[in-house]
Amino acid sequence: MIVHVLKKDVRRLWPAVIVTLILLAMLAHADWWRADPTPGQTEAWLNLLLPFAWACLIALLIQEEPLVGDRQFWITRPHRWPQLLAAKLIFVLLFVHLPALAADAMILAMRGFPPLQYLPQLLGKQALLAGALTLPALAVAAVVRSFTHFVLAAFGVAAEVLFLAGFDTPFPWHPVDDVRQGLAVILLTAVAVAVIGLQYGGRRTLVSRCLAVAAALIAGAVSGYLPATSAFAVQAEVSPLHPQLSLRLVPRSEKLPPDWNRDRVMVAIPVDVSGIPAPDSAFLEQLELEIDTPAGDRQQSAPPRVQSRDFDKRLLEAYLIPWNPLNDSSGRWLELRFTRATYDRFRNARVGITARAGVTMYRPGTKTWMPVGGPVDAPGAGHCSAAVVEGRFAEQMLKVLCESPSEIPIGTRVTVWHPESGQEWKQGWGGARPYYRGLGGTWLSPLHRGMTYFNLDSSGRAEKYQIPMGALATAKISIAPIQITGYAVLPYRLDGISLAEYVVPPQPGR
């Protein structure tokens, strides 16, 4: 029965299968010839078009035996639903997942990564494809009356994704994004499986539709709005490390962080975090903070990493700096940026600060050295190379890029070292990026590609942020990936703080 239905579906849908295979071949071809993290426009469009084509293929497949309605020929014929569903799932495996897996393996092989060595990553990507695309597409196709309705529903989902993308932060925020997207995919997968079971088992269309709509809305809300503190709490829960962390006030040092914004009053409170298990270090992010006074006045900080056009409404912003202690060893600061009026409310009081910080613990990995040009295999970062390229304004830049079947940690450090002068230029992974206009998503690629840039100076001067062109001939580049070892939420309370004591004077000339 399974083979019988499968053969019928193949006979019916082979033209649509051919279309998806052509799109996949085009995408794979573009992917295996690309070294740059930024895709060409064709590849970027294919990253949208191919999932849509796959979703349409799945919809056509399900609509061969539609589950909604009371006039279908097949529902009065002796189909056994587990066998019918099995036939559909095998079709999806054969004509969506298997070609995708083969294409991914081919891309890895062409880019110099033995596919068998990266089988877990390849299978993981297929699981993600199933959870984010094929199972939800199967579920939607099972609750709509026709292919046209499916396309309309797909546009609805695309509109929701675009709406949520409007709230996206310009830079990835892995600890939070991973939880938001992971929870959304888990929810969608679970509900998709439930809907498919309900529809094939008993054609419970009304219940299934309600479930599907609710899941789409909740998944959208989770992926767009799940508070960062909750996301860190989830990460901490599944983290192998559960250290007892604490944050305390420390004596003020002479060196203050620079004041960047004279429209705001900047307060820098020196703090220290203890409890991070050796030899790990930690990135710290201020997630939520509230200032209170004995008189009962309170002020919460604005949510972190939220793009806001109405900057004036962010009355108080809170940061723990430096984010990466490797950037700066002069200590940590709780940095509060007030609007002038907000600061005036608290300036004469001894305030309490109640806050939660997100902690990402990591261990520095092995440093790998390469000359300008490369290439080199950097453990934890994949294949890396460096080249001098021209920027948007014809300026010269040194571009360092790496590609790997595994994710390249965001905290990876890239350092250019000039042996003759002993000078170093440091850059965080993805800390500098070129101007790029257009679609840039490559979520179907089996490779994670990343890059960072160093500005070059042809005048021969050696500056902090510019590498003299002449230094490149003998310069060496080190790639130092990190290994994330765990996450935690750090709640803390500081009492009796006089903000005026910690105000950072504006920089001269500003």
Q: Is the dihedral of CA 406, 409, 413, 414 positive or negative?
A: positive
Instruction: Using the minimum distance from each CB to another protein, give the nearer residue, 27 or 62.
Output: 62
Amino acid at site 78: P
Site of tokens 């509900």: 191
State in angstroms the smallest separation of the CB of 76 from another protein.
Answer: 4
Amino acid at site 90: I
Q: Is the dihedral of CA 495, 496, 499, 502 positive or negative?
A: negative
Instruction: Using the minimum distance from each CB to another protein, give the nearer residue, 73 or 393.
Output: 73
**Tokens representing residue 374 in the block:** 């490369």
State in angstroms the smallest separation of the CB of 156 from another protein.
Answer: 25
CB 431 within 8 A of CB 170: no
State in angstroms the smallest separation of the CB of 137 from another protein.
Answer: 22
CB 307 within 8 A of CB 366: no
Instruction: Using the minimum distance from each CB to another protein, give the nearer residue, 144 or 291.
Output: 144
| Number of other residues whose CB lies within 10 A of the CB of residue 273 | 18
Instruction: Using the minimum distance from each CB to another protein, give the nearer residue, 14 or 443.
Output: 14
How far from each other are the two terminal CA atoms of the chain, in whole angstroms?
78
d(CA 42, CA 49): 10
Instruction: Using the minimum distance from each CB to another protein, give the nearer residue, 69 or 258.
Output: 69
Instruction: Using the minimum distance from each CB to another protein, give the nearer residue, 69 or 275.
Output: 69
Angle between helices 205-225 and 135-143 (to 10 degrees): 140
Residues that bind another protein (CB under 8 A): 1, 4, 8, 12, 64, 66, 69-80
CA angle 203, 204, 207 (to 5 degrees): 155
Residues forming beta bridges with residue 369, ordered by sequence position = 478
Instruction: Using the minimum distance from each CB to another protein, give the nearer residue, 66 or 411.
Output: 66
CA angle 189, 194, 199 (to 5 degrees): 125
State in angstroms the smallest separation of the CB of 217 from another protein.
Answer: 24
**Tokens representing residue 34 in the block:** 């690309």
HSE-CB for 336 with a 13 A CA cutoff: 31
**Tokens representing residue 470 in the block:** 């002449």
Residues forming beta bridges with residue 427, ordered by sequence position = 414
State in angstroms the smallest separation of the CB of 65 from another protein.
Answer: 9
For residue 384, give the H/E element and its range.
Answer: strand 382-390
State in angstroms the smallest separation of the CB of 309 from another protein.
Answer: 46
Instruction: Using the minimum distance from each CB to another protein, give the nearer residue, 63 or 301.
Output: 63
d(CA 252, CA 28): 56
**Tokens representing residue 128 in the block:** 């993600």
State in angstroms the smallest separation of the CB of 79 from another protein.
Answer: 6
Instruction: Using the minimum distance from each CB to another protein, give the nearer residue, 156 or 201.
Output: 201
State in angstroms the smallest separation of the CB of 92 from another protein.
Answer: 20
State in angstroms the smallest separation of the CB of 141 from another protein.
Answer: 16
